[in-house]
Structure 1
């Protein structure tokens, strides 16, 4: 009789045992899924916080310039369509042909380029000499201070004897410099210098553009 009752009770205990195992497994799965979701959300939250932190601009190298300047597209290219000079005194080179003036920083009226943003700039200039009485000399100046120049004399040397010549001579130079906002750049025409150019040749020209700004935002 006792064995029959035990067998009967054991039969009733099977469904309860299976239900308990099923519930336990469901709880484990839910814990794993919810735990993984919490980890994913934690990582996303951490990434979001990291992206919101602004860069420390004050510690960046900026050639000693603490002013943050916006990035801008800056480029110009000008030329002469005819000779200029000679003049008795040094003067700012004047231009009468413009190829481009992106950013509007070059003033055709004054022949001066004014840096709209602080950054590293590239400049290139060239000129031709075609005179038997005058040299050709053009010097790049930044805020009135000479930086570099090009020069061609009007003498032809042969056998140690130098004689005036009409033979054309060309010269060109370029440089990379750092400018601060408001810095002025122009070409200085030396006294009695005579840069030659024509409407089809444009032998004397001046070009400059921004390589990269101090801060690009």
Structure 2
């Protein structure tokens, strides 16, 4: 996995350098800009754009199950940069940078409500609530993570817990690239 990430990062850096060199050559040939500062400012305008917003399902209750399951956010409303893959249910960082991720989970009369966040198949956050009053309950969590190109984030419903979603999109997962590194 480490070599694949390194290869992707090298490939992306090579593409950026090739784009920059081609752009500078074209501009110099056209004799429109000779100021290096101005050229640099123009190049920074071409930054990667990454943003997604998804909701779980229209099915209602999910769980409880006797094993952990990856949550499938099948309703994709925004996917700029195509970093969220609804087939795998993973968000994959396309570039090295700092990302803002947020999820909201709803429990409709659920006794045990929980979601775990995984980065590259390693649990990095566990969230849960025991709803002994059996009332509707929400929780929202946010993360700011430094990710390298190829890092994967997904959400897991732990065994013996449940969540709820329907046409009103109570349970959501979203994220965006704050800046590249």
* Pairwise same-fold verdict (TM > 0.5): yes
- Residue 180 (structure 1) aligned with residue 156 (structure 2): no
Give secondary structure in 2 for the equivalent of 1:71: coil
1:138 to 2:105 alignment = no
Aligned-pair CA distance for 1:109: 1.4
Q: Which has the larger radius of gyration?
A: 1
RMSD: 2.1
Distance (Å, rounded) in 1 between the aligned partners of 2:36 and 2:136: 61
Pairwise CA distance, 1:88: 1.1
In the alignment, the residues of structure 2 paired with residue 126 and residue 183 of structure 1 have an alpha-carbon distance, to the nearest angstrom, of 22
1:88 to 58, 66, 83: 66
Identify the match of residue 207 of structure 1 among 162, 174, 179. Answer: 174
- TM-score normalised by the chain length of structure 2: 0.70
| Aligned-partner Cα distance in 1 for 2:177–2:94 | 10
Cα deviation for residue 203 of structure 1 reads 1.1
Deviation at 1:174, TM superposition (A): 0.2
Gaps of 5+ in 2: 1-33, 41-45
Aligned mates of 2:158, 2:64 — CA distance in 1: 9
Take 1:123 and 1:149, find their aligned partners in 2: how far apart are those partners? 15
Which residue of structure 2 aligns with residue 19 of structure 1? none
- Equivalent residue number for residue 98 of structure 1: 76
The equivalent position to 2:132 in structure 1, one of 141, 155, 160, is 155
Give the whole-Å Cα distance in 2 for the aligned partners of 1:122 and 1:206: 11
Greater fraction of residues in strand: 2
Aligned to 2:139: 171
**TM-score if structure 1 supplies the norm length?**
0.59
Aligned to 2:95: 117
Match of 1:206, SS state, is strand
SS class of match (2:67) = coil
Gaps of 5+ in 1: 1-47, 56-69, 157-164
**CA distance, structure 2, for counterparts of residue 103 and residue 83 of structure 1:** 30
Q: How many Å apart are 1:84 and its aligned residue?
A: 1.9
- 1:170 aligns to what SS in structure 2? strand
